[in-house]
Structure 1
Amino acid sequence: MRKGDFIWGILLLLFGFILIFPATHNVFISLTTNHPYLMGFVKLSILATMGELLAIRIGAGKWKKPSGIIYRAIIWGFFGMVFAIMFPLFAGGVNATIDAGLLPGKNSNLLFAFFTSALMNLTFAPTFMGFHRITDAYIDLADKENSNVTLKNALNNIDWEGFVSFVVIKTIPLFWIPAHTVTFLLPPEYRVLMAAFLSIALGAILASASKKKVNNA
């Protein structure tokens, strides 16, 4: 095991310890409830960045720091703050819709979770993912060209066909909707954290699949 593997694993175990140990667990719940934006920022900026590092580690076979890692972490933190709004927004909307009889599933936690996940991923997720592609492209171009990068440059540097055909059409129905169905079965204070862990899982899965494809070529 390399030093980087050990450090990454320790950080992940630390998050697990915080959730399991009663004293820190209570602090986590209190902070998440009373400071949802701050905790959304902290959870996503750390865990999702760890997911990016893991994906690079799996794909390249070694630990490498991506360009603009601080900027990427800040952007992930911003997304965490957005999730702190969007998760209760969609959950509350689906509950109201079910209560109004516009959707089936009254008294069914599973149907509530599925409808919330499906509606969120079919509407909000493509916008979020597309915006994230733009920020990543902007950071990559700024690192390579070391000059002013325009929005047009960033947009032209994105494989939009691949984004739609794979990220939107495949990962949303096959991964994100089922995964977030599980997320919305959890108590509200754990949902943004679960989203962060899911970003790690998907990054690892895609990196492993990509590496296997290259090795088999």
Structure 2
Amino acid sequence: MKRHDVVFILVVLALFAPFFLSQSLYEIYCKFNLEHGLVMSFIKFAILATLGESLGLRIRKGIYDYKGFGLLPRAVVWGFLGIAIKVSFLLFLPGAVNLLGYLGAAGDSFGFKFLQSFTASSLMNLIFAPVMMSLHKITDTHILETGGTVKGLFSKIDVAVILQKVDWRMMWGFVFKKTIPLFWIPAHTITFLLPASFQVLFAAILGVVLGVILAFAANKAK
């Protein structure tokens, strides 16, 4: 294990350990999360999903960061995506409940709650996820092309040009066709079964897992 691996592990432990060691800190987190859900969504995704990208880079290239990779701009993008994901949770679960009710399905058993969660996850990942993933790909490309700087992030994005550079075979063949049905729909079915205060946190942790999956997929494609 190299020194930067130890540093990475210590950073992860520093992020999570206080919640297990301090009941008062955990209670503060729960209260702030309840009162400022969108802000916490930004923070969770900015930290955890970016850690996932950094870990994915470590798997692909043996390093956690390099000049031009743009960890800070990526964190900013993930923060705003986190807000969008939080909003999608607020929309798709009630939408699934209304849809099932419209179709005449009702109940309070675990089986029915699972059906609600699966329906919400399927709708979210088939309607919202492809748009979000495409937007994330566009911003990733823009960050790399502008030197990985915060200033570059907020420069004009030539979306039409970037879309022509995207490997749509990879996006469709793996990201859309495989990760959505095989990873995201099952994973977010579990997410929707959790208490609302933990849903966004779990979704952000899933971003770390996806970073690892994408890294292995990139290595396999070489």
Same fold by TM-score, threshold 0.5 exceeded?
A: yes
Question: 1:31-60: CA deviations, max 9, x gaps?
Answer: 111001110111000111100000000111
Q: CA distance change for structure 1 residues 167 and 41 in 2, over 3 Å: closer, same or farther? A: same
Q: CA deviation at 1:206?
A: 2.6
- More displaced stretch, 171-180 vs 152-161: 152-161
Structure 1: 5+ residue runs without aligned partners? none
**Deviation string, structure 1 residues 174-213 (Cα, Å, up to 9, x no partner):** 1100111111111011111111111111111231344356
1:192 aligned onto 2:194: no
C-alpha change, 1:74 and 1:152, in structure 2 (3 Å) is same
Change (3 A) 1:213 1:86: closer
Q: Which runs of 5+ in 2 are unaligned?
A: none
Query: What's the CA shift for 1:85?
Result: 1.1
Contact 1:142 1:149 in 2 (8 A): no
Is 2:214 aligned against 1:201?
no
Contact 2:45 / 2:204 at 8 angstroms: preserved in 1?
A: yes
Find out whether 1:154 has 2:155 as its counterpart.
Answer: no
**Is 1:112–2:87 an aligned residue pair?**
no
Residues 105 and 111 in structure 1, CA contact (< 8 A), matched pair in contact too: no
CA distance in 2, matches of 1:208, 1:149: 29
Residue matched to 2:59? 58
CA contact under 8 A between 1:41 and 1:80: conserved in structure 2?
yes
Q: 1:12 — aligned with what?
A: 12
Instruction: Deviation per CA, 1:95-123: give whole Å up to 9, x if none.
Output: 2223x242646322211111111110010
Q: Distance in 1 between matches of 2:199 and 2:104?
A: 22
* Aligned counterpart, 2:103: 102
Q: Cα 1:149–1:131, aligned 2, differ >3 Å: closer, same or farther? A: closer
1:138 is the counterpart of 2:146: no
Structure 1 CA distance for aligned equivalents of residues 140 and 27 of structure 2? 35
AA matched with 1:110 = F
What letter is aligned with 1:166? F
Q: Secondary structure at the match of 1:87?
A: helix
Higher RCO (CA-CA < 8 Å; seq separation 6+): 2
> What letter is aligned with 1:155?
L
SS of the residue 2:69 aligns to? coil
Percent sequence identity over matched residues?
38
Check whether the contact 1:55–1:204 (CA below 8 A) recurs between aligned residues: yes
The answer to whether the 8 A contact 1:141-1:154 is kept is no
- Aligned to 2:193, the other structure's residue is in SS state coil
- Contact 2:65/2:71, CA 8 A, preserved across alignment: no
What secondary structure is seen at the aligned counterpart in 1 of 2:146? helix
- Once the two structures are TM-superposed, the CA of residue 70 in structure 1 deviates from its matched residue by 1.6
1:173 positional shift: 0.2
Name the aligned partner's letter for residue 137 of structure 1.
Answer: T
Distance 2:168 2:216 in 1: 22
Q: How many residues align?
A: 212
TM-score normalized with structure 2 length? 0.86
For the residues of structure 1 that align with 2:220 and 2:114, how far apart are their CA atoms? 35
- Structural RMSD (CA): 2.2
The worse-fitting range, judged by mean Cα deviation, of 195-204 and 6-15 is 6-15
